[in-house]
């Protein structure tokens, strides 16, 4: 039987956070979920509220928080371009001030803390696939910089707290993740394609469709995060958590069309600024250190995600669903 811990999850009502809260509760821990509901949603954790081991607090991590916990998962930050570009200053503040506040809390409590970083720290990569030792190729003044550089600065802070205060840190670099509870209007490619296909609207591909992404199903990702948190204190990361299976946008669109039986046509639009051409994790460190590999094939994960969006659209409740 695992020792029950008090665990704080910031961004806990978001897409990834809600699944993490669910898994930690299932393991017998007490979970404090903190979210300001900018992109998170009460709907994502409504089924957990009756659990006496679960507590939901509305709070913005750019302000200090005083709690007693054993571990902290810092997931607070809008993760889709539509949301993080809506208020870029606030996005940077959430990454940087949020990291400072959570690191300060962890330091006071001598708690272990995990940062949900991102593959976006690699920018538009010159190295393929991306290894953790790669420093990245990031535009510091572009429209995506608030997220990319905010997350890079958060990693800097984590490692400075580790060096300066011997804080027990874990840094996970999360690659494209998908699954139920994604926001239908978050602008990310999986949710975009599925919603367009279910509505029989044109499937919009930016560029010529040859750019690639690697898609990790949410259950696999959560297993990776928890596995990283449970490693010994010597393991800090950063560690790539993602699925190395690489697909072009055209391949993804065609698979979504097949699985939905949609009548949608494919439409090509210009590529957005700083949109990376390739994104694929090298997960050899995760395999060696965590014994972790993703298990859910894209076809299977898409089937579950399509079923979720189908139910959502038919219930006309899309306004209540939220992203990471």
Q: What's the chain's Rg over C-alpha atoms?
A: 19
Decide if 150 contacts 121 (C-beta within 8 A).
no
With beta carbons less than 8 A apart as the criterion, state whether 136 and 121 touch: yes
- Full DSSP string of 261-302: T--PPEEEEPPPTT--S---B--HHIIIII-------HHHHH
Question: Which of 147, 161, 178, 217 is flagged as catalytic?
Answer: 147
Contact of 108 with 68, CB cutoff 8 Å: no
In the residue annotation, 308 being an active-site residue is answered as no
Question: Strands 6-10 and 246-248, how do they pair?
Answer: unpaired
CA pair distance 292, 287, nearest whole angstrom: 5
Cβ of 223: how many Cβ atoms within 10 Å? 17
Question: What CA dihedral angle connects 147, 149, 150 and 156, to 10 degrees?
Answer: 150
Instruction: Write out the catalytic residue numbers.
Output: 147
């Amino acid at each position: 039987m695992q020792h029950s811990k008090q665990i704080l999850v910031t961004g806990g009502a978001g897409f990834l956070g809600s699944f993490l809260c669910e898994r930690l509760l299932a393991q017998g821990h007490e979970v404090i979920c903190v979210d300001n509901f900018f992109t998170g949603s009460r709907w994502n954790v409504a089924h957990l509220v009756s659990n006496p081991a679960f507590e939901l607090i509305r709070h913005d991590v750019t302000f200090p928080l005083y709690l007693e916990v054993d571990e902290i998962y810092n997931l607070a930050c809008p993760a889709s371009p539509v949301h993080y570009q809506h208020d870029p200053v606030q996005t940077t503040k959430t990454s940087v001030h949020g990291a400072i506040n959570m690191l300060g809390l962890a330091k006071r409590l001598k708690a272990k803390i995990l940062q949900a970083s991102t593959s976006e720290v690699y920018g538009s990569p010159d190295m393929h696939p991306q290894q953790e030792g790669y420093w990245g190729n990031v535009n510091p003044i572009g429209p995506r910089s608030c997220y990319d550089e905010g997350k890079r600065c958060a990693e800097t802070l984590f490692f400075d707290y580790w060096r300066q205060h011997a804080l027990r840190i874990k840094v996970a670099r999360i690659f494209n993740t998908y699954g139920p509870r994604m926001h239908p209007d978050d602008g990310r490619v999986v949710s975009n394609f599925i919603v367009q296909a279910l509505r029989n609207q044109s499937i919009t591909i930016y560029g010529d469709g040859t750019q690639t992404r690697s898609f990790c199903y949410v259950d696999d990702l959560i297993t990776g995060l928890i596995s990283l948190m449970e490693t010994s204190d010597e393991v800090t990361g950063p560690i790539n958590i993602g699925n190395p299976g690489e697909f072009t946008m055209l391949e993804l669109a065609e698979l979504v069309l097949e699985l939905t039986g949609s009548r949608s046509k494919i439409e090509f639009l210009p590529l957005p600024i700083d949109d990376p051409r390739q994104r694929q994790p090298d997960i050899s460190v995760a395999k060696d250190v965590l014994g972790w590999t993703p298990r859910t094939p894209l076809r299977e994960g898409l089937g579950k995600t399509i079923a979720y969006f189908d139910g959502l659209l038919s219930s006309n409740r899309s306004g209540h669903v939220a992203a990471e």
